Amino acid sequence: MKEINHLNTKVGFIGIGVMGKSMALHLIKRGYQVFVYNRTESKAKELIEAGATWKSTPGEVAKECSVIITMVGYPHDVKQIYFTDNGILQNASEDSIVIDMTTSSPVLAQSIYEEAKKRGIYSLDAPVSGGDIGAKEGTLSIMVGGDKDIFECVVPLLNLMGKNVVYQGKAGNGQHTKMCNQIAIASNMMGVCESLAYAEKVGLDPETVLKSISYGAAGSWSLSNLVPRMIIGNLEPGFYVKHFIKDLKIALESAEEMKLYTPGLEKALSLYEKLAKIGHENSGTQALIELYRA
Give the pLDDT confidence score for residue 18 in this predicted structure: 84
Residue ranges, the chain, pLDDT below 70: 1-2, 7
Catalytic residues: 178
Strand partners, 129: 141
Structural contact between residues 61 and 35, judged by C-beta atoms closer than 8 angstroms: yes
Q: How far is CA 148 from CA 3, 44, 178, 213, in A?
A: 15, 32, 18, 40
3-state secondary structure of 256: helix
Give the pLDDT confidence score for residue 289 in this predicted structure: 98
Structural contact between residues 21 and 50, judged by C-beta atoms closer than 8 angstroms: no
CA atoms within 13 A on the CB side of 243: 22
Domains delineated in the chain = 10-170 (3.40.50.720), 177-293 (1.10.1040.10)
Q: Where are the alpha helices (DSSP H) in the chain?
A: 20-29, 45-50, 58-64, 75-83, 88-91, 106-118, 131-137, 148-158, 173-202, 206-213, 221-225, 227-232, 241-257, 263-275, 289-293
Phi and psi dihedrals of 97, rounded to 5? -120, 125
Distance CA 150, CA 165 (A): 14
- Is the Cα torsion angle 15, 19, 23, 25 positive or negative in sign? positive
Structural contact between residues 99 and 165, judged by C-beta atoms closer than 8 angstroms: no
Give the pLDDT confidence score for residue 2 in this predicted structure: 60
Distance CA 170, CA 175 (A): 10
Whether pTM > 0.95 for this model: the answer is no
Give the pLDDT confidence score for residue 1 in this predicted structure: 59
Distance CA 173, CA 127 (A): 10
- Is the Cα torsion angle 282, 239, 255, 97 positive or negative in sign? positive
